[in-house]
Amino acid sequence: MSDRYSQFASSAPGRFLVGRLGLPNPVPLRRHRQGDPVIDGAVLLGGAPGGRLAEPVGKLLRSMGVDVRAEQPTGARPAALVFDASGIADSGQLGELHAFFNPVLRSLARSGRVVVLGIAPQDCAQPRQATAQRALEGFVRSVGKEVGGGGTASLVYVAPGVEDAVESTLRFLLSPKSAFVSGQVVRIGPGMVDAPADWERPLAGKVALVTGASRGIGEAIAEVLSRDGAHVVCLDVPAQGADLSALANRIGGSALQLDITAADAPTRLATHLRERHGGVDVVVHNAGVTRDKKLANMRAEQWDLVLEVNLSAQERIDDALLAEGLLNPGGRVVSVSSISGIAGNVGQTNYATSKAGVIGMVQSMAPVLAAKDVTINAVAPGFIETAMTAAVPLVTREVGRRMNSLAQGGLPVDVAETIAWFANPASGGVAGNVVRVCGQSLIGA
Ligand code: NAD
């Protein structure tokens, strides 16, 4: 869908007017192309005294071929600023953030990355340490709003003893794959980490199921998981059969026509996965519908359909796959929530209830699945340029698009890349996370 304002703002007269009038300034975001390095430019790495992450992270980045510097490179803009805040044990030491970032933030390259590493407050031994570590959230969320130029900022809490589990997350957050992810807090804990032999095809030999795959975000998810090496079982309703087959053919996957709300859907799906593939490695619950009406005007069918498709059908499918032992060890379940599920929205009591339920499902199922070496996470997209958002009335659409730190809508591929990071075999420590793909939207922030 064309974003005429973004096109205008990146023209010469547009840049002049945007600057003069203080209008939203969407800069074209860099996106990943197959074969690109993780990051194009040097990473400036610093840390507070006593931190435990700077050293292993520096080693890891170097092993990935990244140019890691302890001092600002002369004559070049760093592509990322990475700061190990794990040594901060008291609010009095938070000045270390200012000392590191103040002199260098202005020199960060376009589409630059800020990543702060810390310890989740619940993993801290002392209240003062937990307080100081919690403070990092406010810092990162503000930097995300200040950084400009298509840059992003993220906070990664790394549990003690899992320093080796951060690679897939750093690869994602430092690269253009995370173009529309900013102001987010990621938690890495214990879990089975299986570094792929080839980071260009981390899902080689894996089977992935994507529901609602025939168009929009689901189509992009299927394409990205296939690019990463998976055989993708593309599922959608029979009415979408033609588009579904075209996609499956294009990506060398298979098509499965199924309404996930049908009473026999879990059994039919389980049978298909068992007989054709002997199980499944990645399950992406993307199928979703809206039936917007204010609650006072909403019919019961409108409520029921949205709750069924967006939440209850997913629970029944997961139960069936688990009961039959079809989720392979190292498996990944990813569900698509929404910022409406976080913030609520007028006319969307049904949708927001279902999408908040998805977050509840992630939180309640994470420990259950961890016992089987399976992770569950969710993405919560904000304004993504799809047929769904193209149908939104102009003024609402413009407001939705601009009300985020990047002043533009995201693309389906931004959601897909985030899901591919969760799906990576090296992301075993990334569980129970809900990551917004919203350009740091003000909605629900
Ligand atoms: P879309 O309407 O283009 O695609 C949804 C797909 O789900 C369709 O192909 C549809 O046929 C399929 N589907 C619906 N009911 C089904 C059923 N019963 N069984 C099987 N398949 C079914 O929507 P989209 O914009 O691509 O959204 C994808 C997901 O992302 C949804 O869960 C949506 O709620 C969520 N989301 C989208 C946005 C956005 O800005 N587009 C924002 C937040 C969340």
For residue 340, give the ligand 1 atom closest to its CA: 43
Reported residue count of the chain is 445
Q: What residues are paired with 116 via a beta bridge?
A: 83, 155
Cα–Cα dist 102/105, whole Å: 6
Q: Amino acid identity of 84?
A: D
pLDDT for position 17: 60
Mean pLDDT for 81-104 is 98
Q: Tens digit of pLDDT for each residue in 413-439?
A: 999 999 999 999 999 999 999 999 999
- Give per-residue pLDDT as tens, 42-87: 999 999 999 999 999 999 999 999 999 999 878 889 999 999 999 9
Ligand 1 pocket test: pick from 234, 244, 256, 289 the residue with the most ligand atoms within 8 Å of its Cβ.
Answer: 289
Dist CA 224 CA 247 (whole Å): 12
pLDDT (tens digit per residue) in 225-267: 999 999 999 999 999 999 999 999 999 999 999 999 999 999 9
- Angle of helix 241-251 relative to helix 216-227, nearest 10 degrees, comes to 20
User: 434 in helix, strand or coil?
Assistant: strand
Using most ligand atoms within 8 A of CB, pick from 209, 217, 350 the residue to mutate for ligand 1.
217
Distance (Å, rounded) from C-alpha 347 to C-alpha 383?
Answer: 17
DSSP 304-347: HHHHIIIIIHHHHHHHHHHHTT-EEEEEEEEEE--THHHH--TT
Strands (E), 101-167: 113-118, 152-158
What is the Cα–Cα distance from 157 to 82, expressed in whole angstroms?
13
Nearest alpha carbon, ligand 1 atom 44:
338
Ligand 1 center to 244 CA (angstroms) = 14
Q: What percent of the chain has pLDDT over 70?
A: 96
Question: Looking at ligand 1, which atom is closest to the CA of residue 240?
Answer: 11
Going by pLDDT thresholds of 50, 70 and 90, the confidence category of residue 394 is confident
Q: What is the pLDDT of residue 3?
A: 77
Measured in Å, residue 52 CA sits from the centre of ligand 1 at 42
Does residue 2 surpass a pLDDT of 70?
Answer: no
Ligand 1 atom closest to the Cα of residue 239 is: 11
Measured by CA distance, the residue closest to atom 28 of ligand 1 is 217
Structure tokens at 153: 């900022």
Owner of token pair 């080689």: 204
pLDDT of 318-370, one tens digit each?
999 999 999 999 999 999 999 999 999 999 999 999 999 999 999 999 999 99
Query: 121, 146, 145: which is closest to 133 by C-alpha?
Result: 121
Question: pLDDT band at 89, cuts 50/70/90?
Answer: very high
pTM: 0.96
Q: Which of 336, 322, 337 minimizes the C-alpha distance to 374?
A: 322
Distance 337 CA to ligand 1 centre (A): 10
| Mean pLDDT within 174-196 | 97
Q: Considering 351, 383, 421, 422, which one is annotated as catalytic?
A: 351
Atom of ligand 1 nearest to the CA of 288: 32
Give the binding-site residues of ligand 1, using a 6 Å CB cut-off. Answer: 211-212, 214-218, 236-237, 240, 259-261, 286-289, 309, 336, 338, 381, 383-384, 386-389
Spatial distance between the Cα atoms of 409 and 403, rounded to a whole number of angstroms: 9
For the packed helices 216-227 and 412-423, what is the interaxial angle rounded to 10 degrees?
50
Listed residue (203, 230, 188, 228) closest to 60, CA to CA: 188
Report whether pLDDT(6) > 80: no
Nearest atom in ligand 1 to 383's CA: 40
pLDDT higher than threshold 70 for residue 14? no
Taking the centre of ligand 1 as the mean of its atom positions, its distance from the CA of residue 90, in whole angstroms, is: 45
Please determine, for residue 108, whether its predicted confidence score (pLDDT) is greater than 70: yes
Q: Find the 138 Cα to ligand 1 centroid distance in Å.
A: 32
List, in order of start, the domains of the chain with CATH numbers: 31-188 (3.40.50.720), 207-437 (3.40.50.720)
Query: Which strands make up the sheet holding 68-69, listed edge to edge?
Result: 68-69, 43-47, 80-84, 113-118, 152-158, 184-188
351 classed as catalytic = yes
Which of the listed residues 350, 388, 438 should we mutate to test ligand 1's pocket, taking the one with most ligand atoms within 8 A of CB? 388
Q: How far, in Å, from the CA of 321 to the mean position of ligand 1?
A: 22
Structure tokens at 290: 């809206």
Ligand 1 centroid, distance to 203 Cα (angstroms): 24
Average pLDDT, the chain: 95
How distant, in Å, are the alpha carbons of 42, 204, 252, 336 from that of 230? 31, 5, 10, 19
- Three-state DSSP at 236 gives strand
Instruction: With a cut of 70, say whether residue 15 has pLDDT above it.
Output: no
Confidence category of residue 21, pLDDT binned at 50, 70, 90: low
Tell me the C-alpha distance between 28 and 231, whole Å.
32
pLDDT band at 155 (very low <50, low <70, confident <90, very high): very high
379's tokens: 């993405």
More confident residue, 287 or 15: 287
Please report the atom of ligand 1 found closest to the CA of residue 339: 43
Q: Among 3, 224, 237, name the best residue to mutate to test ligand 1's pocket (greatest count of ligand atoms within 8 A of Cβ).
A: 237
